Amino acid sequence: MVERRGIGTILTHLALILGVAVLCFPIYLAFVGSTLSHDEILSVPMPLWPGGQMVENYSQALAAGTQVPVARMLFNSMVMAIGIAAGKIIISILSAYAIVYFRFPFRMLAFWAIFMTLMLPVEVRIVPTYEVAASLGMLNSYSGLILPLIASATATFLYRQFFLTVPEELAEAARVDGAGPVRFFKDILLPLSRTNTAALFVILFIYGWNQYLWPLLVTTRPEMNTVVIGLQQMMPSADDYGNWPVTMAAAILAILPPVAVVVFMQRLFIKGLIESEK
């Protein structure tokens, strides 16, 4: 690491603090908004210090919202994000295991087919996907929210790369020890990819949480809305005043779960990104 002294340290810190301030200001503003009353928010200029309405606004958002209680939408988002993250991890680790450790006909074809889907993000295939989901009766259901987003070329590729770095002798040692394919996967590979899995989980959870277009299409009933869509619908439109304090409270609430996931998994997350356990 480059060592700096005196003025250099001060300058770097100033730059960093400025960056953090720029990044955090909108969030701070949302937080301030969530503690004010409706009239205070609409006054010009808007106060920059938190007001006294915090408890009222948050409880109103959680319990009632504008159309659906935010608690309900948070729950929907949680189910969807965890479902997507967990589903992606399970499917990817299994397909990567098959591709790396087994020799079967069309193995490379399978790998490339998975890899090609990187070129087909949700937005590109959204119409046919919707058609399929609709004819399977998955509209307005958690499976409809989760299943179409579960396949992941990125995660498969990541696991594949990781498995390729696991020394071949480890698999051979396990074979000599008498471990079959399932045991080897369960006892050796899974524990070894723990940190990778944690890092992936964080990334995929946030990916799932932030989904907008797909939930917007596949859910029509407000009580199946995710918080990201709910937020949009809480925004006042046209001649409507809306309820800005409650909307801001909902926005802050929507940020919290991803932040919590990152904070709690940070240690594993960073380990997974920088270190391989060997």
Residues of this chain, 147-186, that bind another protein according to CB under 8 A? 167, 169-170, 172-179, 183
Q: How far is the CB of 143 from another protein (least distance, A)?
A: 34
- Contact between 277 and another protein per CB under 8 A: yes
Q: How far is the CB of 164 from another protein (least distance, A)?
A: 16
* DSSP class of 210: T
Q: How far is the CB of 180 from another protein (least distance, A)?
A: 8
Structure tokens at 54: 């915090």
**71 half-sphere exposure, CB direction, 13 A CA radius:** 6
Indicate the helix (H) or strand (E) that contains 203: helix 194-209
Residues 222-261, mask of contacts with another protein (x by CB under 8 A): ----------------------------------------
Radius of gyration of the chain (CA): 23
Q: How far is the CB of 179 from another protein (least distance, A)?
A: 6
Long-range contacts formed by 109-112: CB under 8 A, 24+ apart? 111/160
DSSP three-state, residue 121:
coil
Residues 179-218, mask of contacts with another protein (x by CB under 8 A): x---x---xx--xx-x------------------------
**48 half-sphere exposure, CB direction, 13 A CA radius:** 3
Question: Which residues lie near another protein (CB under 8 A)?
Answer: 167, 169-170, 172-179, 183, 187-188, 191-192, 194, 277-278
